[in-house]
Structure 1
Amino acid sequence: MASSSANLTLKLLIDTKRDKVLFAEASKSVVDFFLNLLCLPISSVIRLLSKNEMVGCLGNLYESVENLNDTYMQPDTNKDVLLKPIAPISSAAISGLLPSNVNRSDKREETKFYRCPCHDDYVTCNSRTICPIQYCGNRMTSEMKYVDDNEVAEDVLPNKNGFVKEVVTYMIMDDLVITPMSTISSITLLNKFNVKEVGALEEKVVELGMKEGVNLLKASLQSKMVLTNVFIKNKTET
């Protein structure tokens, strides 16, 4: 895990007088990581951050499903559909930024699919289902081979090329607004932040590992100063 994310870095521009990250220069892979957060099912986020660290009551909802006896669940329904949904990862290069319990390693190997012995128009997860073809009446008992989700990931999900193109450097704001970077946009932002003394600005390169990935996810749910909270305030508090 760690090795896949070892080359991911952010170049921060910090206002040292206010202890605030103004913006960060980021590569395509880093932007892909942030965009991939939008793909995470909420159950995966809860498991990753742990129920006690969740803001609001979603942690309680998750724990309620955990504690609910299978007797109360619908037949042929597995609680893992709610507790461990599949979370697509767009690129192997960014998967090392989050623990495996939120990536596609949650395989549904126990899932089986069936079709009618005479017709292949429909598929079901229940081998007791009657074929819906008119005048057929056969049970759909012919088991079909299940293709692992990793094998179809490149066809169904964004492949190893990720989400954005690699032709430019990207700018990530403290509140996670992301735009292509340019000299003009940088100067405009300095005016916007009312920076009077260029000498008070400091460039700092930080590495992104699994710890930072989890902290960025957590901060993005709780704050509009994500980069500042993760890379400045957390550092000064430890």
Structure 2
Amino acid sequence: MTTSTSNLSMKLLIDTKNKKVLFAEASKDVVDFLFTLLQLPLATVIKLLTKEAVVGCLGNLYSSVENLNHVYWQPNLSKDVILNPTILTSSPAISGLLPSAAINHSQITPKLYRCPKRSGNNYYCSSSTVTDVYNSKCAACGRGMTREVNYSTATAEPNKSNNGFVKEVITYMIMDNLLIQPMSTISGITMLNQFNVKNVGVLKETVVKLGMEEGLKLLKASIESQMVLTTVFLA
């Protein structure tokens, strides 16, 4: 397993009698990481967990795409569209929790075509329609759309004070089943009542570090279990 450079951690409240994590206190960066898991395309999840570790038949689908000869694919289409889909770039603070080699953060630049408009001095087409399929018929004049046009994306200036998804002014409570809410004294007491904790002596606080190994375990457990924190940190 590749060593992570992440410095993230969270505090677990453990019921030692029932050997269960009741909830965790976590920072913005931990919550950002968990929310990032929702962005991951299925193909990326399969690649991160390896095909053999994925529940059900999704691993077989991934293998089918890998092994299908390119002659059966639509022209001008790469397998990478399925096997290596792009996701939004995550906050730098959580970049060490998943292997970057398995995640494609680069932007795919599509090839777009339009009607050539001029062929010598014979004609002029006023259509501004574009397509991503080479030689498609122009809706206005019927000629093949073969002239490649430049594609550019507007890049917003990064806001260093607003990285990730949630604000960092508070601590967050993460339940064992990954329900997340703002942390407060009242919410903590409410949770203890909800779990019917009568003897606080059975409760134990512990701080756990989050690295790449834990990141992958959290991803896997979030798919398979309703007791994610217990599965990852107490198993």
TM-score (norm 1): 0.83
Aligned to 1:113: 112
Q: How does 1:1-238 map to 2 (within 5 A)?
A: 2-3=4-5, 5-6=6-7, 8-108=8-108, 111-118=110-117, 121-132=128-139, 134-135=140-141, 137=143, 139-145=145-151, 152=155, 161-233=163-235
Corresponding letter in the other structure for 1:15: D
Size of the alignment, in residue pairs?
Answer: 223
Between 1:160-169 and 1:121-130, the stretch displaced more is 121-130
Corresponding letter in the other structure for 2:132: C
8 Å contact kept, 1:87–1:104: yes
Provide the rounded CA distance (Å) in 2 between the counterparts of 1:137 and 1:19.
Answer: 70
Do the aligned partners of residues 57 and 106 (structure 1) sit closer, same or farther apart at CA in structure 2, a change above 3 Å counting? farther
* Structure 1 position 125, deviation (Å): 2.9
Corresponding letter in the other structure for 1:124: T
Provide the rounded CA distance (Å) in 2 between the counterparts of 1:120 and 1:165.
Answer: 46
* Structure 1 position 100, deviation (Å): 1.3
Provide the rounded CA distance (Å) in 1 between the counterparts of 2:73 and 2:232.
Answer: 40
* Structure 1 position 108, deviation (Å): 3.2
TM-score (norm 2): 0.84
* Structure 1 position 112, deviation (Å): 2.8
In the TM superposition, what whole-angstrom CA distance separates every residue of 1:76-117 from its partner, at most 9, and x where no partner exists? Answer: 2211111111122342222221111453435536x4333445
Secondary structure of the residue that 1:94 maps to in structure 2? Answer: helix
RMSD between aligned residues: 2.5
Do the aligned partners of residues 63 and 144 (structure 1) sit closer, same or farther apart at CA in structure 2, a change above 3 Å counting? same
Q: Mind listing any 5+ residue stretches in structure 2 that lack a counterpart?
A: 118-125
Corresponding letter in the other structure for 1:216: L
Do the aligned partners of residues 16 and 208 (structure 1) sit closer, same or farther apart at CA in structure 2, a change above 3 Å counting? same
Do the aligned partners of residues 153 and 100 (structure 1) sit closer, same or farther apart at CA in structure 2, a change above 3 Å counting? farther
Identity of aligned residues (%): 56
8 Å contact kept, 1:88–1:103: no
8 Å contact kept, 1:115–1:140: yes
Secondary structure of the residue that 1:194 maps to in structure 2? Answer: coil
Provide the rounded CA distance (Å) in 2 between the counterparts of 1:48 and 1:12.
Answer: 26
Secondary structure of the residue that 2:92 maps to in structure 1? Answer: coil
* Structure 1 position 144, deviation (Å): 1.0
* Structure 1 position 128, deviation (Å): 2.3
Structure number with larger C-alpha Rg: 2
Q: Mind listing any 5+ residue stretches in structure 1 that lack a counterpart?
A: 234-238
In the TM superposition, what whole-angstrom CA distance separates every residue of 1:130-172 from its partner, at most 9, and x where no partner exists? Answer: 443x24736341341455xxx74879xxx95221122211100
8 Å contact kept, 2:131–2:145: no
Provide the rounded CA distance (Å) in 2 between the counterparts of 1:160 and 1:115.
Answer: 39
Do the aligned partners of residues 222 and 175 (structure 1) sit closer, same or farther apart at CA in structure 2, a change above 3 Å counting? same
